[in-house]
């Protein structure tokens, strides 16, 4: 079987990669496990030196890597550069903080001495998506490797070039051989890899459907997993919000990565007092989003990553319109264009039962919802099976803090800004958006044996 990398801007095949055989996969896992035995005993400062060299290699090859990202999954070249730069930031953050995160923590007890030590687990399987093909890998790999684990990467099949480039980066940075290896396989092979006796834990970023499957497989083998799944992030705009700030942030959050983000802003909820103004400003801003060749920096929106992703989005929009949503802009696909483009689109009169209300819309489609009042807006925001991100816009900062901390049901809640990941802050969701945390100190501990040591 061949795994195809297709340029979403023109639907042309970039490369074809033979799928690894079961024997090849087993050999790679065995090698990564052998590497673990020595990597776990490598001094932390030596692991940190590897991370620092990796940061330098990312900087050095930024334009090359950004080009691979844009060619394989279609995001605007400026966003691809920013993705590589964010990986540099992450490497530097963990380089600066690894010693503090992983140092022994003394604990008072009845013992003469007792403490917590953070020890590695073994070979971690990372199942990663295509939408941020470098960032998603790095945000789980860097803290996991610093603890002393090793990693097998099963990347999305349509970004196999990115997967191999990441593996090469680790070699260029002079990591020990087989600390991180890629396996080029289809999703159908994942269950057998999870079952491999040398795999001790799994991390997945992907769809809710994929999360259920991976959790079931991992659970049946008593292997820990971290899941970062889909989202239908609500943004609540209160009557006292600065609408200029709110609309700019909301549109940016919706159009980032052409709307292909689990934490992308998706549902925008306002009360009658400001709804009409919000709608008018929102539509005007969305109409400014120029669509076209992602290597042209003047274009805001590149294509969606795959044809099937666009077709699913089209179906969701059409079904929402069929049962009562109103199209305010966008929504029309130019099939004469060979790429998988979809314009910035705004839907109003969005109600429960519509895909635009209940499902994750993975593309540049915004759902505007009018609430009865503030309490109803919060109710609508929480009326979802997802719980990844949420935001509230208000000039009353204390109220915003209260709503973000206590009322909005999500793992990441922002006030007066769109939801984004940051190496310094823990990242993850609740409900059907998954469990576990990446980034910050918490990401460094997810795949550690948090070991109690007790001396009498």
Active site residues: 228, 262
3-class DSSP assignment, residue 124: strand
Spell out where 88-164 has E strands. Answer: 105-106, 113-120, 123-127, 150-154
Full 3-state SS string of 205-252: ECCHHHHHHHHHHHHHCCCEEEEECCCCEEEEECCCCCHHHHHHHHHH
The token pair at 78 is 């400026």
Distances, alpha carbon 175 to alpha carbons 53, 387, 448, in Å = 9, 37, 20
Distance CA 403, CA 1 (A): 51
Compute the distance between CA of residue 253 and CA of residue 255 in angstroms, rounded to an integer.
6
272: left (phi over 0), alpha (psi -120 to 50) or beta: alpha
Other CB atoms within 10 Å distance of the CB of residue 219: 12
222: left (phi over 0), alpha (psi -120 to 50) or beta: left
Q: How far apart are CA 222 and CA 195, in angstroms?
A: 10
- How far is the CA of 369 from the CAs of 57, 376, 413, in angstroms? 46, 11, 19
Cβ density class 288-326: b for 16+ within 10 Å, e for less = ebebbbbbeeebbbbbbbbeebbebbeebbeebbeeebe
What is the C-alpha separation between 119 and 139, in angstroms, rounded? 19
5 forms beta bridges with: 15
Give dist(CA 82, CA 62) in Å, integer. 9
- For 404, which DSSP code? I
What is the rounded CA–CA span in Å between residue 84 and residue 95? Answer: 17
């Amino acid at each position: 079987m061949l795994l195809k990398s297709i340029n979403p801007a023109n639907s042309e095949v970039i490369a074809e990669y033979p799928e690894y055989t079961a024997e090849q996969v087993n050999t790679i896992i065995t090698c990564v496990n052998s590497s673990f035995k020595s990597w776990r005993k490598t001094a932390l400062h030596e692991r940190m030196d590897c991370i620092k060299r990796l940061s330098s290699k990312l900087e050095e090859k930024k334009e090359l890597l950004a080009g691979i990202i844009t060619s394989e999954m279609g995001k605007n070249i400026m966003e691809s550069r920013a993705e590589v730069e964010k990986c540099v930031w992450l490497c530097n953050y963990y380089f600066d903080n690894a010693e503090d995160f992983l140092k022994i923590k003394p604990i008072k007890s009845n013992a003469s001495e007792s403490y917590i030590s953070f020890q590695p687990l073994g070979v971690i399987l990372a199942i990663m998506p295509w939408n941020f093909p470098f960032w998603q890998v790095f945000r789980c790999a860097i803290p996991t490797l610093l603890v002393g684990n090793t990693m097998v990467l099963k990347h999305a099949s349509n970004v196999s070039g990115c997967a191999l480039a990441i593996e090469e980066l680790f070699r260029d940075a002079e990591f020990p051989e087989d600390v991180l290896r890629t396996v080029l396989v289809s999703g159908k092979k994942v269950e057998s890899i999870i079952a491999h006796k040398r795999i001790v834990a799994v991390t997945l970023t992907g769809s809710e459907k994929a999360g259920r499957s991976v959790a079931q497989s991992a659970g049946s083998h008593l292997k820990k997993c971290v899941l970062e799944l889909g989202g239908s992030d609500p943004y609540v705009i209160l009557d006292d919000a600065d609408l200029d700030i709110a609309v700019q942030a909301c549109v940016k959050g919706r159009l980032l990565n052409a709307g292909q983000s689990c934490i992308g802003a998706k549902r925008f909820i306002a009360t009658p007092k400001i709804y009409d103004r919000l709608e008018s400003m929102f539509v005007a801003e969305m109409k400014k989003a120029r669509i076209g060749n992602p290597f042209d920096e003047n274009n805001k929106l590149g294509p969606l990553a795959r044809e099937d992703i666009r077709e699913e989005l089209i179906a969701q929009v059409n079904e929402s319109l069929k049962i009562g949503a109103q199209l305010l802009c966008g929504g029309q696909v130019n099939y004469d264009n060979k790429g998988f483009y979809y314009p910035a689109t705004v839907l109003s009169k969005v109600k429960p039962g519509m895909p635009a209300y209940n499902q994750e819309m993975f593309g540049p489609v915004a759902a505007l919802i009018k609430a009865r009042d503030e309490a109803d807006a919060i109710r609508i925001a929480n009326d979802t099976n997802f719980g990844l991100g949420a935001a509230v816009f208000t000039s009353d900062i204390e109220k915003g803090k209260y709503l973000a901390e206590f009322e909005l049901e999500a793992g990441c809640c922002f006030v007066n800004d769109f939801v984004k990941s940051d190496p310094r802050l823990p990242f993850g969701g609740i409900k059907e958006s998954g469990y576990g945390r990446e980034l910050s100190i918490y990401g460094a501990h997810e795949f550690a044996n948090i070991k109690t040591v007790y001396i009498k």
